[in-house]
Amino acid sequence: MIWRIALLLLVAWALGFAFFLMSLGKPLDNRKTDAIVVLTGGSGRIDRGLAVLGKGDAKRMLVSGVDPDVRPVELAVQFKIDRRLMACCIDLGWQAVDTRSNADETAKWVQRHGYKSVRLVTTDWHMPRARMELANAIGGDVEVIGDGVRSGANSPGWGVLLREYHKYLVRRIALWTHAG
């Protein structure tokens, strides 16, 4: 009996991992949203957000999880952002230090601006958990649309994917049980 339960748990875990791999974020094209939120921590994320903002597919962008020592002018110089675009349409969030606090910071920003749709830009392997956290923090009134930045040459290894899957599982269970 114990072997059957263990086998059932193993099969459930493996199927869950397969579904997790299928839910990795993919680039989103030709979709307008009210706003963009970019989670810092991976290459290509800010560039992707700026490209979408530049195309006019959103009104405003939040870069969440910015190091407290980074000033707007430094970010503008590093990413070659026009001063007017930086002043009108890009906000920096300095409070977030992890995915959960990114979601909390973004939820406050979305509520303050009254947005109804948000494009979430993060690395493909990070998308399932980041989207789940953001959707939970924002609530059901705002549509969260994932725009995954491909890992590219830096494709995550199995270790990264398994670690992220386990983080996802822990947070999913915590949210289901209202434990956090």
pLDDT (tens digit per residue) in 35-85 = 999 999 888 999 999 999 999 999 999 999 999 999 999 999 999 999 999
Query: Which one has a higher pLDDT value, 168 or 43?
Result: 168
Each residue's pLDDT tens digit, 13-42:
999 999 999 988 888 888 999 999 999 988
* Enclosing H/E stretch for 118: strand 117-123
Query: Tokens at residue 27, please?
Result: 């680039």
> Residues in the chain, how many?
180
Q: Tell me how far CA of residue 163 lies from CA of 25, 28, 46, 97, 126, in angstroms.
A: 17, 25, 24, 18, 11
pLDDT score, position 153: 61
Task: Give the type of residue at 62.
Answer: L
Q: Tell me how far CA of residue 149 lies from CA of 21, 127, 128, 174, 179, in angstroms.
A: 15, 9, 13, 27, 30
pLDDT score, position 172: 94
- Which of 91, 97, 114, 95 is closest to 105 using CA atoms? 95
Separation CA 132–CA 172 (nearest Å): 8
**pTM, entire model:** 0.92
**pLDDT tops 80 at residue 149:** yes
Sign of the C-alpha dihedral computed for residues 45, 46, 51 and 56 taken in this order: positive
